Structure 1
Amino acid sequence: MYKMPIVSIKDRVDSLNESGKYVSVMWQQPESLVFVARGRAYRSEFHINPTDEVMVQIKGEMHLHYRTPEGKEEIAIIPEGSAIHTPAGIPHSPRFPPDAYAMILERARREGEVDIFQWYCPECDHLLHEEHFTVGNYGVDPVAQAYRNFYDNVAYRTCKGCGYVMPNALAEAEAAEQKSAGAE
């Protein structure tokens, strides 16, 4: 008998809301990966995915920043209930608040495929840092690990073009979340 899981998106959103986590993998098979993601207030990097992605905005609005082949940053606005297809190889940065949710559909990574995360200087647009990950299990949240690597190293956050030091937005977001949790 074939297994065809039925997963409640609402239950996944509720679980992320209650746990404070950012990703809930619905299923991960050799040819498909589907997860629900909660927005990250500190998200600023551009992800270069070796696979196509379809993003469905379940709740709230997403501002999908992306870089054109000429390197120019553009923004596509995805309203609640809408979807966007992002072809493999396009540097993109899905930005939406922590009370918004998206469902992401893509192909699971094949052996040797690498995901790339890039940060650019907000002052002069010079490339600050690039992280490379081989993603075997998306449930371990490679985006969070890329952020920890970037924000924990001041040299990565310092622009070699203009000298600007990007603030540690991850630490600021975590402190705000703790303060908010303590106030409840």
Structure 2
Amino acid sequence: MPNIDLERIMQHLQETGKRTFQLWLNEHSLAFIARGREYRSEFHLNPSYEIQYSLKGDLNLHYRTPEGKEKVAFVPQGSCLYQPPLVPHSPRFGADSYQLVIERVRVPGEIDRFHWFCPACDHFLHEEQYTVDDYKADPVSRAYGNFYGSEQARTCKQCGTVMPVPQEWALNVI
């Protein structure tokens, strides 16, 4: 059983500018290290549970209640959070922060959903759907590419607000 040098992986992510490093993927679980999610604005609906451990820095996990109200769970460095399946969530943490994430491998046919809401009136804006079978395919970045690449998707049908493209995305550093 191999040891995983988490410090080395965090250093690798910092040096390369990459945002994720998959630790393992087997028939039961997948695990990865994520760096900085300060730009996140979507809410991910994952059909699996998620275990998030704050390796370095703090996590503000934005989530939506069954009634649709946005709340924030604070996960300080060294703490762990268990998140049940299908809770709309948006992990946000600084560029120099790192999370260890463990999930159940998706059952064939399960779909991950990514939802965006208007920053002005909280009206639903857009949904992207992906089959997540390997984080090396970077489904989050693909969902963001589709969303930020479409002004129509970013325009609120209720109030007309257009969600801006974050500078990090426009500079292609995400």
With normalisation by structure 2, the TM-score equals 0.96
CA displacement 1:101-150 (0-9 Å, x = unmatched): 00000111121011000000011110100000001211121111111110
Partner SS, residue 113 of structure 2 = strand
Q: How does 1:146-161 map to 2 (within 5 A)?
A: 146-161=143-158
CA distance in 2, matches of 1:40, 1:153: 21
Q: 1:141 to 1:177 in 2, by over 3 A?
A: closer
Provide the residue aligned with 1:56 in structure 2: 53
Provide the residue aligned with 1:47 in structure 2: 44
CA distance in 2, matches of 1:50, 1:141: 17
CA distance in 1, matches of 2:40, 2:142: 13
Shift of 1:31: 0.3
Q: 1:167 to 1:175 in 2, by over 3 A?
A: closer
With normalisation by structure 1, the TM-score equals 0.91
Provide the residue aligned with 1:141 in structure 2: 138
CA displacement 1:35-69 (0-9 Å, x = unmatched): 00001221110000000000000111110000000
Aligned with 1:173 (options 149, 157, 168): 168
Shift of 1:5: 2.6
RMSD: 1.3
Question: Gaps spanning 5+ residues in structure 1: where?
Answer: 179-184
Instruction: Verify the 8 A CA contact 2:52 2:102 in the aligned structure 1.
Output: yes
Provide the residue aligned with 1:182 in structure 2: none
CA distance in 2, matches of 1:140, 1:5: 24
> 1:98 is matched by which residue type in structure 2?
A
Provide the residue aligned with 1:5 in structure 2: 2
Question: Gaps spanning 5+ residues in structure 2: where?
Answer: none
Q: Give 1 or 2 for the bigger CA radius of gyration.
A: 1
CA distance in 1, matches of 2:2, 2:128: 34
> 2:79 is matched by which residue type in structure 1?
S
> Does residue 33 in structure 1 map to residue 50 in structure 2?
no
Shift of 1:152: 0.5
> 1:115 is matched by which residue type in structure 2?
D
Instruction: Verify the 8 A CA contact 2:37 2:91 in the aligned structure 1.
Output: no
Aligned length: 173
Instruction: Verify the 8 A CA contact 1:41 1:173 in the aligned structure 2.
Output: no
